[in-house]
Amino acid sequence: MLLMIKKSTLMSICLVVLVFLAIILGGRIFVSMFYSEDTLKTKEECEEDYIKWVDYNVPCEAMKKALQLDIDSRDEEIQLNWIELLAYLAAKNGNNFGSYKDKQLEEIAETIRGGKTMKELTADMKYYDYYYEAFSAILSGFVGEYEVEVVDANAEDGRKHWEKKYGLKAFSPIAKNYPYSHYDDFGQSRSYGFARNHLGNDLMGQVGTPIIAVEGGIVEALGWNQYGGWRIGIRSMDSKRYYYYAHLRKNFPYQLDLKVGDKVQAGDVIGYLGRTGYSTKENVNNIQQPHLHFGMQLIFDESQKECNSEIWIDVYQIVRFLNSNRSEVVKNLVTKDYSRVYEIREQEPEGSE
């Protein structure tokens, strides 16, 4: 009997000690009895549960095909989503599009039309959710419903009216009817100031070529940077994308009325191609070849905006994709400034101001 009491007392004391330790350690000892150490996250780790790197390899041809499948299904009972199609393909091929064929997307579309949902198709795909979130951050502002001005077919005075459309509503960064050339130079080395990688796509063109806002957003940066020269930074309305346009023209780099805080629409003229930069002194042409440096930064958390681990993606294929939609512009002979010919109205994403 005495032995049983002693054992009972000892067990009670041990239990009290365990509870005390659990409280002191914030419950970690108690929780670790049920979960492995690998599953436990600190408070800081829980707060940083967002994407920290994206490698965008989707070719222009795949984007075009996925978009066409999306558009063609608008009047069908089963509607296809171009971002879902691309995310599925990336998850299936391990983000390797080296052997891409349109047939691959057509087969996915046919399977969905046959009754399978994307949720069912991706149930066992470990990385589909990652690719869908990443590709949505890149492409979500590119396609949707919008209204655009068009010239009345029977009007002799050039009268315009608004038409509702669905499809590609983002624009090439180079205005319509202006020549340019480019190649995939993302990641190439740069040495001015310090050794670093090139985090954009250089579009070679003529000085003064009107530069276009790819997407609607808010101007966050405007002014001189010793690396980018005269440059513009525009944040998308959903805050996921930061567009960077650099090396703008000496003396007349920007559209005259543009300032920080302005809201711009996709297709607006924002500046002019030049060769400024590589100087601590403002308004200096130290870039040999006139070109636009165009970059896109992804922002899943505000801490990523300006830090040592920013996410800049390769936009070469995106520039190729957007080449089919270029904003037509006209010059004001008095001010020498350019503006768009056809306006656009688009529905802003939820949560934007």
Taking the CB of residue 1, how many other CB atoms lie within 10 A of it?
5
Q: Distance between CA atoms of 320 and 247, rounded to whole angstroms?
A: 20
pTM of the model: 0.84
Count how many residues are written for the chain. Answer: 353
So what's the pLDDT on residue 34? 26
Q: Which residues of the chain have pLDDT under 50?
A: 1-5, 7, 16-46, 352-353
Q: For 217, which DSSP code? A: E
- Listed in sequence order, the residues at least 6 apart from 283 whose beta carbon sits closer than 8 Å to its beta carbon are 224, 230, 250, 251, 276
Q: Distance between CA atoms of 135 and 54, rounded to whole angstroms?
A: 9
Tell which residue, 149, 146, 147, 145, has the closest CA to residue 342: 149
Residue 51: is it exposed, middle or buried by C-beta count within 10 angstroms (0-12/13-18/19+)?
middle
Which secondary structure element, helix H or strand E, spans residue 112, and what is its range?
Answer: helix 102-113
So what's the pLDDT on residue 99? 96
Q: Distance between CA atoms of 280 and 258, rounded to whole angstroms?
A: 23
So what's the pLDDT on residue 40? 35
Q: Distance between CA atoms of 198 and 194, rounded to whole angstroms?
A: 12
Q: Distance between CA atoms of 101 and 96, rounded to whole angstroms?
A: 12
So what's the pLDDT on residue 14? 52
The residue to which tokens 């002979």 are assigned = 333
Tell which residue, 57, 50, 117, 129, has the closest CA to residue 93: 57
> Residue 221 has which token pair?
């940066």
pLDDT tens for residues 76-112? 999 999 999 999 999 999 999 999 999 999 999 999 9
DSSP per residue, 28-90:
HHHHHTTS-GGG---HHHHHT-S---------HHHHHHHHHHHHHTTTSSS---HHHHHHHHH
So what's the pLDDT on residue 28? 36
